[in-house]
């Protein structure tokens, strides 16, 4: 019988007996959503994993009711029938991986027998993973069960085919990785210009075939790793985009430590390995759009620790929200969270905020660069969307869709909080931690190894409960605000660009409203957690 656990105040984690049941429920829930089921009308994302289905909804949704609706759908499932409907994809592999001989040694097979085992049994696409288009493949030849490499590679080339544990998988883009590599494919696993962009999808069967050797191709099974081919990135040169400057533009003169374009993100694509991303401090981003009369999904510049300078190439209205960075138009200081007029040729400069991490420069009409999968956000983990801004870059301004509000300034922040407190609820795997009260009793410090993916918290070591000592958690869905605990016991608070699945226990989840506050934490800040 399926059971469920809460994922903060935005999601439910439905536990099922096995992958067949997960894939069947995933298909059934999506069918109900397509039919317009009122009980599932507010669902944002549906994400299958090894033994769980994660369903997310807006904050303050009735998660108990949502879980009841999903369990009612699960009661009528026929997993065997759903499994029989899957189609099969054939993928040609060049079996020239650098770990092929190591895999042979680990399995007791010859290199040729490893290839025969990998191609001899159809694999099944189970669930997405750490990158868009990456899927865990299961049900292959059990003789190919091998451990991950003791030392992960810092860069695995795109198209690499690997083994880890019972899984096989194909890296869609260059990334670090510890899988044993046995070959590579030429076909693109992920292409944002393709519909759908992912070559594979959960439930499909994959049959690998040995690619014929090209003339002059080496047959050495331990070939060196091929050079990484740089991935295609979104270019924002107005000439390349064919975007008119009739509505004006901003020229970037300086970016500061980092400046990215962000909007409300890409909801609904987690099953493809694509997280929502978007503005790290969503409330600050939304305030900027409201002050300027923009649609809330307009793109703004997310500025880390100030330092941004832009020149107006036409008269425009802008505002700065989020971390209160001191702002000047030319040499004149201007207010925070206020509607500001930039006249052609004037320069807006942001200093470093006295507190907080991320400020948002919004312009009436939004930044009009080409969207990628429906969003202009830069996802630093997935490598989607525009590249980080560079000096000299030209940012076209879009159309203003609404009337300009009469409010010219929002209330100013009252200064830094004397004590930063984040409200949390127990996570779905809080029972994996020996003492949950350590989470709320410890004053945590934000590590310098924090970014848009997550804030690493330094303090007490969270010890694994004896009942789960040495146990591996199968990958399952995570949400923004999840506090995941790796084996070392140092918790990580997931932020905007978090992976869609994780294989470490989530001990707590920050309530959705407080994640914006978490996004403003600087390295060295102290933060306290409290049960809600």
Query: Does pLDDT of 80 surpass 90?
Result: no
- Alpha carbon 453 to its chain centroid, in Å, reads 7
Q: Are residues 59 and 109 in the same domain?
A: no
Strand 123-128 and strand 135-138: pairing? Answer: antiparallel
pLDDT exceeds cutoff 90 at 141: yes
* pLDDT, tens digit, 9 for 90 and up, residues 319-370: 999 999 999 999 999 999 999 999 999 999 999 999 999 999 999 999 999 9
Torsion sign across C-alpha atoms 186, 189, 190, 191: positive
Using an 8 Å Cβ cutoff, are 7 and 506 in contact? Answer: yes
* Strand partners for 170: 161
Q: What angle do CA 249, 253, 254 make, to 5 degrees?
A: 125
Question: Is 406 among the domain residues?
Answer: no
Tokens 């001990």 locate to 507
Establish whether the linkage from the previous residue to 196 is cis, with ω within 30° of 0.
yes
Cα 46 to Cα 69: distance, rounded to the nearest angstrom:
14
Predicted confidence band of residue 394 (pLDDT cuts 50, 70, 90)? very high
Residue 125 lies in a domain: yes
What whole-number distance in Å separates Cα of residue 6 and Cα of residue 512?
13
Q: 84: part of which helix (H) or strand (E)?
A: helix 79-84
Determine the Cα–Cα distance for residues 497 and 231; give it in Å rounded to an integer: 19
**Residue ending a domain, choose from 29, 63, 84:** 84
- Shared domain for 260 and 372, answered yes or no, is yes
Residue 42 belongs to domain with CATH number: 3.30.1360.40
In a domain, 35, yes or no: yes
159 and 249 belong to one structural domain = no
Same domain, 390 and 425: no
Does a structural domain hold residue 373? Answer: yes
Cα Dmax for the chain:
75
The residue among 86, 202, 79 whose CA lies nearest residue 135 is 202
* Residue 34 pLDDT level (bands cut at 50, 70, 90): very high
What mean pLDDT do residues 186-206 have?
A: 91
What Rg value do the Cα atoms of the chain yield, rounded? 24
265 and 348 belong to one structural domain: yes
For 413: left if phi > 0, alpha if psi spans -120 to 50, otherwise beta; the answer is: beta
- Split at pLDDT 50, 70, 90, the class of 231 is very low
Residue 108: phi, psi to the nearest 5? 75, 15
Could you write out the DSSP letters of every residue in 59-76? TT--HHHHHHHHHHHHTT
CB 59 within 8 A of CB 44: no
Q: Which residue has the higher pLDDT, 231 or 217?
A: 217
Looking at the structure, do residues 356 and 252 belong to the same domain, yes or no? yes
All residues at 6 or more sequence positions from 224 whose CB lies less than 8 Å from its CB, including other chains: 98
- Give backbone dihedrals phi and psi of 209, rounded to 5 degrees, phi first: -135, 145
Specify the pLDDT at position 202. Answer: 85
Helix (H) or strand (E) holding 319: strand 316-322
Q: To the nearest 5 percent, what fractions of the chain are helix, strand and coil?
A: 20, 30, 50
- Rounded to an integer, the average pLDDT of 51-75 is 96
- Per-residue model confidence as pLDDT tens digits over 470-501: 888 888 999 999 999 998 899 999 999 999 99
**Spacing of C-alpha 9 from chain mean position:** 19
- Whether residues 254 and 392 fall in one domain: yes
Is residue 452 very low, low, confident or very high in pLDDT (cuts 50, 70, 90)? very high
**How far apart are the C-alpha atoms of 514 and 107, rounded to whole Å?**
49
In a domain, 410, yes or no: no
Would you state the structure tokens that stand for residue 510, as one six-digit string?
């920050």
Please indicate, yes or no, whether residues 66 and 30 belong to a single structural domain of this protein: yes
Instruction: Let me know if residue 466 belongs to a domain.
Output: yes
pLDDT (average), residues 422-450: 97
Decide if 215 is inside a domain. Answer: no
Boundary of a domain, candidates 84, 112, 127: 84
Domain end position, chosen among 54, 84, 114: 84
Task: Tell whether the model's pLDDT for residue 215 goes beyond 80.
Answer: no
- The answer to whether the peptide bond before residue 243 is cis (omega within 30 degrees of 0) is no
CATH number of the domain enclosing 496: 2.40.100.10
Domain co-membership, 79 together with 133: no
**Domain count along the chain:** 4
Q: How far apart are alpha carbons 361 and 236 in whole angstroms?
A: 17
* Co-location of 495 and 447 in the same domain: yes
| Residue 221: inside a domain | no
Range of the domain at 197: 88-210
pLDDT at 261: 98
The 10s digit of each residue's pLDDT in 100-139 is 999 999 999 999 999 999 999 999 998 888 789 999 999 9
Residues 68 and 199 in one domain: no
- Residue with token string 């400020």: 359
Residues 350 and 206 both lie in one domain? no
pLDDT at 229: 37
């Amino acid at each position: 019988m399926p059971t469920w656990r809460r994922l903060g105040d935005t999601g439910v984690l439905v536990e099922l007996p096995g992958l067949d049941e997960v894939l069947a429920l995933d298909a059934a829930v999506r069918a109900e959503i397509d039919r317009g089921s009122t009980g599932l009308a507010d669902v944002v994302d549906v994400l299958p994993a090894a033994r769980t289905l994660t369903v997310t909804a807006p904050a303050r949704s009735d998660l108990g009711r949502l879980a009841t609706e999903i369990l009612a759908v699960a009661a009528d499932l026929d997993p065997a029938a759903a499994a029989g409907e899957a189609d099969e994809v054939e993928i040609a592999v060049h079996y020239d991986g650098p770990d092929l001989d190591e895999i042979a040694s680990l399995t007791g097979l010859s290199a040729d027998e490893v290839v025969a085992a990998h191609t001899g049994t159809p694999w099944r696409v189970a669930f997405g993973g750490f990158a868009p288009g990456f899927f865990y493949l299961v049900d292959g030849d059990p003789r190919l069960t091998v451990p991950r490499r003791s030392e992960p590679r810092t860069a695995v080339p795109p198209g690499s085919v690997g083994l880890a544990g019972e899984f096989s998988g194909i890296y869609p883009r260059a990334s670090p990785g510890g899988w044993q590599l046995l070959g590579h494919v030429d076909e693109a696993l992920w292409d944002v210009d393709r519909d759908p962009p992912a070559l594979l999808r959960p439930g499909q069967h994959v049959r690998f075939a040995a690619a014929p050797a090209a003339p002059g191709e080496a047959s050495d099974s331990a070939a060196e790793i091929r050079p990484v081919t740089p991935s295609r990135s979104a270019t924002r040169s107005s000439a390349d985009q064919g975007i008119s400057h009739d509505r004006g533009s901003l020229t970037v003169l300086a970016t500061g430590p980092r400046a990215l374009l962000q909007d409300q993100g890409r909801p609904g694509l987690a099953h493809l390995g694509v997280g929502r991303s978007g503005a790290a401090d969503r409330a600050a981003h939304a305030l900027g759009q409201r002050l300027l009369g923009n649609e809330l999904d307009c793109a703004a510049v997310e500025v880390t620790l100030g330092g941004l300078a832009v020149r107006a190439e036409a008269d425009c209205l802008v505002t700065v929200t989020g971390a209160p960075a001191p702002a000047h138009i030319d040499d004149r200081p201007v207010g925070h969270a206020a509607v500001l007029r930039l006249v052609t040729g004037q320069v807006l400069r942001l200093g470093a905020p006295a507190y907080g991490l991320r400020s948002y420069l919004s312009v009436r009409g939004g930044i009009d660069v080409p969207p990628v999968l429906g969003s202009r956000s830069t996802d630093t983990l997935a490598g989607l969307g525009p590249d980080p801004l560079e000096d000299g870059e030209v940012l076209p301004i879009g159309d203003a869709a609404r009337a300009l509000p009469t409010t010219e300034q929002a209330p100013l922040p009252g200064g830094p909080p004397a004590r930063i407190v984040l409200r949390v609820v127990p996570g779905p795997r809080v029972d994996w931690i020996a003492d949950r009260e350590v989470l709320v009793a410890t004053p945590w410090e934000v590590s310098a190894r924090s970014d848009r993916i997550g804030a690493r918290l330094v303090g007490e070591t969270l010890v694994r409960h004896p009942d789960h000592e040495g146990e591996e958690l199968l990958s399952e869905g995570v949400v923004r605000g999840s506090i995941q605990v790796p084996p070392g016991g140092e918790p990580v608070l997931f932020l905007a660009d978090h992976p869609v699945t994780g294989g470490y226990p989530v001990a707590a989840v920050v309530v959705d409203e407080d994640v914006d506050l978490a996004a403003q934490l600087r390295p060295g800040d102290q933060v306290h957690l409290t049960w809600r």
